[in-house]
Amino acid sequence: MNLQSLIFTSPRTIQIQESPIPTLLPHHVLVQTIRSAISAGTEMLIYRGEAPQELNADDTIASLNGSLAFPLKYGYCAVGKIIACGREIDPVWQDRIVFSFNPHETHFAASIHDLIPLPPDLDPDDAVFLPNMETAVNFLHDGAPVVGERVIVLGQGIIGLLTTSLLSHIPLESLITLDRYPLRRELSLKCGATLSLDADECDTTKHGDADLTYELTGAPTALNQAIELTGFSGRVVIGSWYGTKTAQLSLGGRFHRSRIKLISSQVSTLSPELTSRWTKARRFETVLKMLKQIRPSRFITHRFKLSDAAKAYQLLDQRPEETMQVVFDYDSV
């Protein structure tokens, strides 16, 4: 039995490569993948060749410790079942369902310290959203929304929808979302937005008094719009990663006199203001609770076999208005 791995070989080109299943080290387990999810943000930057190839993928994750240069095995939303344990591993781990920040592949070996055991009542379809939910939780930590505030979220992709879902549980004065695609605006309203507008038609003079604005579109041009929508002394949380794309900001007008704060937010670290009380383990506990509460599996619009991965990425690249979450189903369920 061989394992199959998805490899990004060059812009808009992927391959499925076979290799022997690795010999299991005494302190590792072998995981058979059940489900993995495509990150429509980071992975599409890689797919299009827009990720900085000299940058490390993620120094905090063992399976992503290389650079973003081609050829590249990538992905970080995998749910699987432990099918074998090294001799130093407690047999209680056998057959456990776990989450891993692991690339798209049918099997992988890992240390149990790099796995997150999942509650028995958490569906794998919900569990694959764990990284995106962690990102959304991190956005709320960094933005620190206050009861009664006016909040705007630009971008209603998966992370935008999850952020909106979390924000909707806070008694805000208003929660307005922006997106170009009708499908996403419709889902945004179902997630608790008080109003969802076409990003290309939003009147910034009418709605430009937000206390807190999130820029989650992935488009550098949206950052100027986020600033225009933010009121005096407001905060703009920049959750988008632009890759090699640059943002040309208009900072000579209202921004200069408005004391607007631009906040960089990235999930690999915790906000320094929280580290005296929060750890990544505590954040994961919160994320698992939110996954059970929000049940984001309803956002899955397309399923593919790993062998059809090229079609999945072409769909996301060419017809994003039709998609929300795209997942790979494996034969290990």
Domain's final residue, options 264, 284, 313: 264
- pLDDT tens, 206-239? 988 999 999 999 999 999 999 999 999 999 999 9
Domain's final residue, options 264, 283, 312: 264
Report the CATH number at residue 179.
3.40.50.720
Asked if residues 89 and 109 have their Cβ atoms less than 8 Å apart, the reply is no
Task: Answer whether residue 237 is part of any domain.
Answer: yes
The pLDDT-based confidence of 251 (bands split at 50, 70, 90) is: confident
Burial of 95 (0-12, 13-18, 19+ CB in 10 A): exposed
Report the CATH number at residue 78.
3.90.180.10
Same domain? For 305 and 323 the reply is yes
Same domain? For 145 and 94 the reply is no
Domain's final residue, options 214, 248, 264: 264
284-308 mean pLDDT: 98
Same domain? For 101 and 216 the reply is no
Evaluate if residue 250 carries a pLDDT over 90: no
Please tell me the pTM assigned to this model. Answer: 0.93
Same domain? For 84 and 43 the reply is yes
- pLDDT tens, 186-206? 999 999 999 999 999 998 889
Evaluate if residue 70 carries a pLDDT over 50: yes
Same domain? For 108 and 9 the reply is yes
Distance between first and last Cα of the chain: 17
Same domain? For 192 and 304 the reply is no
The pLDDT-based confidence of 244 (bands split at 50, 70, 90) is: confident
Task: Answer whether residue 58 is part of any domain.
Answer: yes
Total number of domains constituting the chain: 2
192: left (phi over 0), alpha (psi -120 to 50) or beta: left
Backbone φ, ψ for residue 326 (5° rounding): -110, 130
Q: Which domain holds residue 105?
A: 2-123+296-329
Query: How many C-beta atoms surround the C-beta of residue 259 within 10 A?
Result: 9
Asked if residues 64 and 15 have their Cβ atoms less than 8 Å apart, the reply is no
Which position has the higher pLDDT, 251 or 113?
A: 113
Task: Answer whether residue 274 is part of any domain.
Answer: no
268-296 mean pLDDT: 96
Same domain? For 119 and 135 the reply is no
Helix 280-294, helix 158-167: angle, nearest 10: 90
Same domain? For 135 and 118 the reply is no
Task: Answer whether residue 270 is part of any domain.
Answer: no
Same domain? For 148 and 260 the reply is yes
Task: Answer whether residue 284 is part of any domain.
Answer: no
Question: How does the average pLDDT of the chain come out, rounded?
Answer: 94
Same domain? For 114 and 135 the reply is no
Evaluate if residue 148 carries a pLDDT over 50: yes
- pLDDT tens, 109-135? 999 999 999 999 999 999 999 999 999
pLDDT of residue 333: 40
pLDDT of residue 332: 47
Evaluate if residue 175 carries a pLDDT over 60: yes
d(CA 276, CA 274): 6
Task: Answer whether residue 291 is part of any domain.
Answer: no
Same domain? For 140 and 244 the reply is yes
Same domain? For 17 and 107 the reply is yes
d(CA 321, CA 309): 19
55-75 mean pLDDT: 76
Task: Answer whether residue 269 is part of any domain.
Answer: no
Task: Answer whether residue 280 is part of any domain.
Answer: no
